[in-house]
Chain A
Amino acid sequence: MNLEIQNLQARVEETEILKGINLSIKTGEIHAIMGPNGSGKSTLSNVLMGHPNYEVTGGEVLLDGENLLEMEVNDRANRGLFMAFQYPVEIPGITVGRFMKRVIEIRAAAKAELRGEDPEMSKPTGFVKYLRDTMDFLEVDQQFINRYLNEGFSGGEKKRMEVLQMLMLKPNFAILDETDSGLDIDALKVVSKGVNKMRGPEFGAIIITHYQRILDYIKPDYVHILYKGKIVTSGGKDLVQVLEDKGYDWVKAQYGIVDEEES
């Protein structure tokens, strides 16, 4: 599958954040998007997923030729797009087990409908075992099945829960929005293990990050540097090391970026 981002522009309230993003991603590829705070990383994730607070002001995004930006959030999800949140919400009253089961049922029904089959007939099987196995793989205690979703979870536990959902849903494209932020090294390794398990011809990912650290564990095929709402340069994984050695100031100098006056 292809995800084509063409000259994408977006704003939050009156502030222009994305100023023309161009990016082409195929399944089978892992793209890293690196950038400092305020460069538009999270805006890009949220716009791709369809967050209502972000307004697209120009450009388009095509998922296998279809206009992604006109789809409802759940249609994007059911066509294979997934986002791992930087700050997953807590939802008291829904247990992890009940939530995961419902997510899988909804997905199975939606896929059946896309294939033109009766969604009522698409009951998933083997759910419980798969959930338990995946939890073991991500070193998540089985007790979490009976806890309310993300309620009282630590930052690391919330991020693992996001990766758990990704492994359960098996998306074609995953956007990981600063999934590494706030993680200790053990949690980072587990999260990376989850992403690496997904790697293959049917899976593509956009790893959005401020730091190079996660890219030591998930080797990207392409690296893009986002600065003030534009991708200023792209390259292979070597670019990670250049950025690590020289810092974001080097990016500014190299690409002639002038800081705007603080107002």
Chain B
Amino acid sequence: MKVYNSTGELAQFIGDRGEPSWFASLRNQALEQFKKISWPTLQDEEWRRTDISSFDLDALSFSVPAVAQPRVLSDSDLSSVGYAGKVEFSNGLCISLGLLGDEEKSGVVFTTLQDLLSKDTTGSSKVAKALVRGFEQSLESADNKVFRWSLSAASYGALVYIPKNHRVEKSLRITISASGDDFVTFPFVGVVLEPGAQATIEMAWEGQGGFLVNQSNFFSVGDGANLSYTQIQKTGDEVVVFTNGKSQVERDARFRHFEAILGGGFVKNRIDSSLLGPGSDLELDGIYFADKERHIDLRTVQHHKSHHATSNAVYRGAVADEARVIYQGLIEVSPEAHGTDAYLSNKNLVLNDGAKADSIPSLQINTDDVRCSHGSTTGKLRADQVFYLMTRGYSRSQAQETLILAYFQEVIGRVHESLQDEIYSLLFDQISGIKADLKG
């Protein structure tokens, strides 16, 4: 395993990797961009409520694990867990990987970044070309140093490519985990759906320790394609997470992005989505819960660049103890995007006086003939509901826990069915941890 001790060694890291030039040049572009700006501060609007000055980001080490062959998952391995494909990374190393044989024959690619780079030295495959496009578009939208950092250093991750008009019925599962202290890890998820394709992807983050995750995701949803992506954050309270996602949704395509932030001690995520064709349909939903001294800051961007597209963002969170949650939602409508229909809604449940929730929805509308609206509410648990349940025999904590779950129910109902139970039980675990301290 090779260790690099600071951001100052990024150039050396890129040089050491021996990657094909078509990809190494992308990294170098990202590195150049990275060097040009300084870390976000409280003066940057998006980072106004998330102070990262206490992290010495430049001094964090990162490493490249020795390459090992992942365990290959067979069709029967995958069938037993109900997935079309599954990949698992642990501390940067791919430990298992598999895709149903039929899907592979249909032209589906489900692989790792390293695998692609070792096989495609000229960058001529469809997947490589899609990756280049995705990387370039991500870099274009990477207006902060953290995002540029992740692009220059992205060292492992999953790539998904679904060919034209092919539908993958079962889910593809990506699990990423890490353990240990005082390092940064750079996963990458790239998803490309050709026109008319369909896929459902689950990504779960697990692990414990004082490490930092700096992840970038890219989604390209071709004409008439349909992508559902869900990310579940379930790491421990010490973990710091930055995620920057970029998506492009073409004509008549549908993209559904759901994030369940039910872990991590300090989280700053962004999903920036562009509607590029008429009839495109975007759904950005999420739930989040923070207790103790956790901090969660989530941003969504619904950028309407084409006429007659639809988008919707529904985020719902709860906060307890001394924790703080922030949701920033932007609907941006370009001058040519007439006939836009966009909505965004955010609700926060503040469970005690020391906890804090900020909701910052905003609209930038540069054309007429649009329907755009947003709504946000922040409230407490209702005492009359707690009393009602207690008259039916619920203890105070059972009543509170039930009402918190009920509050999330509507949004959990928007998650892909296969994940509802997983998210529900994760949420239940989180709430069970804090219920005793709640105030009625």
B393 with A77: CB separation less than 8 A: yes
B409 with A85: CB separation less than 8 A: no
A51-B387, A52-B383 given; A103·B393 CB < 8 A: yes
Q: Note all chain B residues with C-beta closer than 8 A to A52.
A: 383, 387, 440
Judged by a CB distance under 8 angstroms, whether B64 is at the interface is no
- Smallest Cβ distance from B432 to chain A, in angstroms? 15
- Please provide the chain B residues from 392 to 428 with a CB less than 8 Å away from any CB of chain A in the complex: 392-396, 398, 402-403, 405-410
| A46–B389 CA distance with the chains assembled, in angstroms | 14
Judged by a CB distance under 8 angstroms, whether B39 is at the interface is no
| A169–B403 CA distance with the chains assembled, in angstroms | 21
Q: Note all chain B residues with C-beta closer than 8 A to A253.
A: none
A82 with B402: CB separation less than 8 A: no
**How many residue pairs, one in A and one in B, have C-beta atoms under 8 Å apart?**
65
| A165–B410 CA distance with the chains assembled, in angstroms | 24
Return the contact of A85 from the options B388, B390, B393, B402 (Cβ within 8 A): B388
- Smallest Cβ distance from B196 to chain A, in angstroms? 35
Judged by a CB distance under 8 angstroms, whether A121 is at the interface is no
B393 with A106: CB separation less than 8 A: yes
- Smallest Cβ distance from A190 to chain B, in angstroms? 21
Residue from B387, B393, B395, B408 with most neighbouring chain A CB atoms (10 Å): B393
Judged by a CB distance under 8 angstroms, whether A88 is at the interface is yes
A91 with B387: CB separation less than 8 A: no
Closest 7 CB pairs of A and B: A93-B406, A93-B409, A73-B390, A77-B393, A106-B393, A94-B406, A74-B390
Q: How large is the interface on A (under 10, 10 to 19, 20 to 34, 35 or more residues)?
A: 20 to 34
Judged by a CB distance under 8 angstroms, whether A102 is at the interface is yes
Q: Note all chain A residues with C-beta closer than 8 A to B440.
A: 52
Residue from B385, B394, B407 with most neighbouring chain A CB atoms (10 Å): B394
| A199–B56 CA distance with the chains assembled, in angstroms | 73
Residue-wise interface mask of A (183-203) relative to B, using a CB-CB cutoff of 8 A (1 in contact, 0 not): 000000000000000000000
B392 with A77: CB separation less than 8 A: yes
A107 with B385: CB separation less than 8 A: no
A88 with B391: CB separation less than 8 A: no
A107 with B393: CB separation less than 8 A: yes
Number of interface residues of B (CB under 8 A): 24
- Please provide the chain B residues from 22 to 65 with a CB less than 8 Å away from any CB of chain A in the complex: none
B396 with A72: CB separation less than 8 A: yes
Judged by a CB distance under 8 angstroms, whether B102 is at the interface is no
Q: Note all chain B residues with C-beta closer than 8 A to A91.
A: 385, 388-389, 403, 406
- Smallest Cβ distance from A78 to chain B, in angstroms? 5
- Smallest Cβ distance from B296 to chain A, in angstroms? 21
The chain A residue sitting closest to B409, CB to CB, is A93
- Please provide the chain A residues from 51 to 89 with a CB less than 8 Å away from any CB of chain B in the complex: 51-52, 72-74, 76-78, 82-83, 85, 88-89
A-B contacts, 5 of them at CB < 8 A, read A73-B390, A85-B391, A91-B385, A93-B409, A103-B393
Residue from A93, A94, A102, A107 with most neighbouring chain B CB atoms (10 Å): A93
Q: Note all chain A residues with C-beta closer than 8 A to B389.
A: 91
Q: Note all chain B residues with C-beta closer than 8 A to A82.
A: 391
B388 with A74: CB separation less than 8 A: no
Judged by a CB distance under 8 angstroms, whether A231 is at the interface is no
- Smallest Cβ distance from A9 to chain B, in angstroms? 21
A72-B396, A74-B396, A106-B398 given; A92·B391 CB < 8 A: no
- Smallest Cβ distance from B361 to chain A, in angstroms? 22
| A165–B389 CA distance with the chains assembled, in angstroms | 12
Q: Note all chain A residues with C-beta closer than 8 A to B403.
A: 91
| A89–B408 CA distance with the chains assembled, in angstroms | 18
B392 with A103: CB separation less than 8 A: yes
The chain A residue sitting closest to B399, CB to CB, is A74
Judged by a CB distance under 8 angstroms, whether B384 is at the interface is yes
B393 with A72: CB separation less than 8 A: no
Return the contact of B391 from the options A77, A93, A102, A110 (Cβ within 8 A): A77
B382 with A110: CB separation less than 8 A: no
Residue-wise interface mask of A (113-151) relative to B, using a CB-CB cutoff of 8 A (1 in contact, 0 not): 000000000000000000000000000000000000000
Given contacts A72-B390, A91-B385, A93-B406, 8 further A-B contacts (CB under 8 A): A74-B391, A77-B391, A77-B392, A89-B384, A93-B408, A94-B406, A102-B402, A103-B393
